[in-house]
Structure 1
Amino acid sequence: MSSEARPGRIHVAVEQHLGRVVIDHPAKHNALTFDMWQSLPGLLDELESRDDVRAIVFEGAGDRAFASGSDISQFGEQRDTEENVRRYNATVERAIGRIGAVRKPTLAFINGYCFGGGVAIALHCDMRYGNEQAQFCIPAGKVGVGYHELWLHRLAQLVGPAHAKEIMFTARRYTADEARQMGLVNRIQTREETLDLARTIAGLAPLTHRASKLAIETSTAPDGRDWQACKDAILDCFRSADYVEGREAFTGKRTPVFRGK
């Protein structure tokens, strides 16, 4: 089946302790259909439940796009009534929220277009890396839709209120270098460099990553902070076999083998 005829899908793969989440709809620049949004939480549940997955990388199929947002061609059918709008929006919100709730480190590699809902996916990953061809845009003002308030909270945290307002008010495209200067991406680098970084992260202590992520996310949460959960996660690190392994490897001048336990 040609890419023109193939329906969009999101598929996952696991290799070398990495979970890869691939947004695969190249005929439409990896625009996400309703079914693709609906499938994402379950796929992430699967990856998070696997002990052999230490980090998760999001990427787009092909070399033209990461994700160009929701498939607008479905809006006439899927978002034609207030009831359907609520159903569609709740499905997308659940998918994006699930990305943000993943306890393992998440990275987005942006290869080409990253528009609308694609930006929301990237925003909810822990780190973002783009190649030289990456382009960023939130065209909500051109379509007349409202961008979710919590997504804008994340955007403003990364780039600051003034840049966030410019992004939303102009609906223009930003280059990879402009995105880097604003703080929207961590660095400009290749896919292989991003995967190498993810492998490095996956080789370190999973419980330490979990505690660090929880504390950092809690410190910037817009709706209340549970510091006790952060303290408990830190204690879990010191109670773990990984802590013993890390100490012994350090004193023995060898590479530790962490098991997340």
Structure 2
Amino acid sequence: MAKKTETTVEDKLRALYDLQLIDSRVDEIRNVRGELPLEVEDLDDEVSGLKTRIDKLKTDIETVNYEITAKKNMIEESKALIKKYSEQQKNVRNSREFNSLSKEVEFQELEIQLAEKHIKEFKAQIDQKKEVISETKERLTERESHLKHKKGELDAILAETEKEEKALLKKSEEFEDKIEERLVNAYKRIRSSVKNGLAVVPIERGASGGSFFTIPPQVQVEIATRKKIITDEHSGRILVDPVLAEEELEKMTKMFAKL
């Protein structure tokens, strides 16, 4: 941090209020973006998740189709065995051999029935998975369209505000450098603990800016002298007189217009 030159209390108050105006402008820009970046990120994650789900369902269908092929091959093998056993039955020497072959034929017929039952179940699974894929694709198309729209919104806002935000953040650093570290730390501490990030506020209609608590007349006079840094006893905010605030707002508005 650069070495600070000796400044009056008024200079410090002006610098603090200028810093507040810059940081408040950055807050406004970020509020315009709002939840959009998070919304885009969530949509992106959802789209990726839907694509992964579709890919998994397609892989599941491939696996089930492989199972169907295996069952069909098994059926053909069983049919071949039935044919073989039936031929052998023509040449048996006794009833015991005939009955033994009959049991083999019966077993293979049961194997065929079981395989056909499994094939039917597998095909039902495929139909169900295809239905889920169709529904998921519809959801994916809708979410991708929504994501494209939201990304377009975010890109437009970024294009409009990114340059100004970077310039303001640089100015914020420059203005911080004009103020002694103790005051900057106090300013940041107050800013992080109060509503709307307003750490330095002017007196408005006899009260602290953004507050309903009246400032005693003698304190208002003291603030107007700009001889010491005075904080609001209720909110802890640093107070400046309305004339100084108006002068600095006019000056900073001109600076913002050039960014």
What is the TM-score normalised by the length of structure 2? Answer: 0.18
Query: Looking at both structures, which has the greater relative contact order when contacts are Cα pairs under 8 Å and sequence separation is at least 6?
Result: 2
Higher strand proportion, which one?
Answer: 1
